[in-house]
Structure 1
Amino acid sequence: MWRRRAPLATACAAGEASLFVNGIDPGYSGDTAVYGALSLVTRADSILVQEVCDYGNYDDFDFTGTSMGFGLTRDDEPPPLFLPGVIISMFGGLVRNIAGHVGVELDEMRQRIEPWYTDERIECAMATIEPGQLAAVRFAAVGVCGGVPVITVEHVTRLTAAAAPHWPYPPDGHIGVHRVVVEGEPRVEVNTHVSHPVFDPTDAGCISTAARAVNTIDWVCRAPSGLFAVADIPPTELIRGVMW
């Protein structure tokens, strides 16, 4: 991790610049929502950060669709997401960050990937998926301590509600949810849904992703040079400028 941070930190120092990277997932669901849930427990046994979302209306096949392997068959070469270590490289930082904040020393990181291939034709904005092709994927980065998974960042991604019917769905008919579940004393579950009066909920998620960065511009511009995480920013500075 330091090998990745060091060049950025050096560049920030040389250019007297500040860098803050965030979004909704990765971002909000793996930091702010987690910290809020953990503040309500006296003991945490495990933490699950989960995105369960129907990507059918997400018209981004060229990047998201190909990287997740939508439309591939079992006999095709695996997509980038399925390659060894890719899930950990993308989402392992969230797991390690949470572990660092709660004082857990992880023994190892694991990744798991489960594809789902449809038996029927699925048509949606993302792509048209023929029988035998991949229409859903479930993957996770898992932090293990003492042989037990303690911090998990998981995505359940499907194309339309018809895909992978045995996997979890968002509650109350929503097409997506960013969920945090803390098993402990007491158990806490936080479900976050985004919507918009005009745009699709998938588009609303893109707006929220941008908002996490846009709302911190003033603070980042005032900050000294360096790299910053959400824990470095006063919570009220994350909401500056939202009432226009």
Structure 2
Amino acid sequence: MGIATAVWGTGNVGRAAIRSVAAHPELDLVAVIVSNPDKAGRDAGDLADAGRDLGVVATTDVEAALTGLGGAGAVVYAVNGELRPDEALVDIRRALAAGAVVVSPSVYALYDHRGTPPELRDPVEAACRAGSSALFASGIDPGWGNDLLPALVSGLGSEIEQIRCQEIFDYSTYDAEDSVRYIVGMGQPMDYDPPMIVPGVPSMVWGGQVRLIARALGVELEDVRETSTRMPLAETVTTALGEFAAGTQGALRFEVQGIVDGEPKIVIEHVTRITAAAAPDWPQPPDGGDGAHRVIVEGRPRIEINVEATDEGGNRSAGGNATAANRLVNAIPWLRAAEPGLYDGLDVPLTPSAYLRASQPARS
């Protein structure tokens, strides 16, 4: 028997997490938790686009699902935390106190737990102690692209002037319309203030990742700063999410900068559009697709790495979500063996895939 694992949430990350847990030879998918009663009773494979039934029926009964883990096991907490961060923390603490290790992209403030305000961190640590459990939080943009990958790539250079991590993303097919319109601000008037770039929010979300890179490189940050630029649509466009009118926001670009010696030396940058035609002079995916993740090390030598992942019919947003989910799911066996407490993207090693090994015939 593998580690009993529940997936909590069946959105963009939850779907990928279900597929990942079901495929992992060291994990057993035993529960899928949903809030929508219309999803309750449906097979997890149906909800996750797995192409087959998985024999696990979704439930709204959180207590029964956590009890089914037997006071141990694991929870992939994939519920969107953007609009309900306090409730997400309550859910995570509940799972930790019940004895489950938890992996999650939902609580930005815990990406760099060493920098998390004590009023948020201390109750989570108390839940870990109560349940002899552990938590690993990492982002969906994806987290590995803003901590492990830049740290690894930096080791290939000699003289480094700047490390820049980019997410370049076309939201036209993103399956979260409210987030696209009301958090990112696509299709809103240009005097609308997108919550994503309200002063302090970018640093709250991505500042932890800047600090993780600085910690990996052994440098002290003098400050964390933010910049942002918005561009209107030149003409009305219609996407899978509906109509976006000319003159409303069509593109958003922002940076979270780690300042060293008065200069932005560590930068997390997001370049987002509602259509590929918006802000054509801004960075684009190398092949003109709908998304890419890029790490650029300016220095000697100059190094640029582009990562393009696709899933769910060739969609790159789904591919990015899948890689983020897989990073979290693959960490569960390591986390289950770790001491109780909080862990981040530099604490948790990148685990080589167990899937291929599991498919090999046994040797005599």
Q: TM-score, normalised by structure 2?
A: 0.63
Instruction: Tell me if 1:72 matches 2:196.
Output: no
Give the fraction of aligned pairs with identical amino acids, expressed as a percent: 38
Moved more, 88-97 or 207-216: 207-216
Against the structure 1 CA distance between its residues 197 and 92, is the aligned structure 2 distance closer, same or farther, given a 3 Å change threshold?
closer
**Greater RCO (CA < 8 Å, at least 6 residues apart):** 1
- Flag the 1:127–1:150 CA change in 2: closer, same or farther, 3 A: farther
2:231–2:279 CA contact under 8 A, matched in 1: yes
Tell me how far apart the structure 1 counterparts of residues 190 and 147 of structure 2 sit (CA, whole Å): 35
Summarize deviations over 1:108-134 as a string: whole Å, max 9, x none. Answer: 111111111112001112342101111
Residues 131-189 of structure 1, C-alpha deviations (whole Å, 9 max, x = no match)? 11111100111111222110100000001211111111010222211100111221111
- AA at the equivalent of 1:106: L
Instruction: Pick from 127, 131, 155 the counterpart of residue 15 of structure 1.
Output: 131
> Within 1, Cα distance between the matches of 2:174 and 2:135?
28
Is 1:240 aligned to 2:344, yes or no?
A: no
Where does residue 59 of structure 1 map in the other structure?
175
**Rg larger in structure:** 2
- Residue 112 of structure 2 corresponds to which residue in structure 1? none
Q: 2:293 aligns with which of 178, 196, 213?
A: 178
Alpha-carbon distance between aligned partners in 1 of 2:260 and 2:333, rounded to the nearest angstrom:
39
Instruction: Give the partner amino acid of 2:301.
Output: P
Runs of 4+ residues over 3 Å off in structure 1? 240-244
Size of the alignment, in residue pairs?
242
Match for 1:182: what amino acid?
V
The DSSP-based 3-state class of the residue aligned with 1:169 is: coil
Matches within 5 A, 1:12-161: 12-76=128-192, 78-161=193-276
Tell me: CA distance 1:198–1:57, structure 2 relative to 1, closer, same or farther (3 Å). Answer: same
SS of the residue corresponding to residue 166 of structure 1 reads coil
Q: Sort the Cα spacing of 1:140 and 1:79 in 2 relative to 1 into closer, same or farther, 3 A.
A: same
Show the counterpart of 1:208. Answer: 323
- In the alignment, the residues of structure 1 paired with residue 134 and residue 203 of structure 2 have an alpha-carbon distance, to the nearest angstrom, of 26
Choose which of 337, 351, 358 in structure 2 pairs with 1:222. 337
**Which of 280, 295, 301 matches 1:165?**
280
Report deviation, 1:69.
Answer: 0.7
Matches of 2:148 and 2:218, distance apart in 1: 17
Backbone CA RMSD of aligned residues: 1.8
CA distance in 1 between counterparts of 2:345 and 2:198 reads 30
**TM-score (norm. length: structure 1):** 0.92
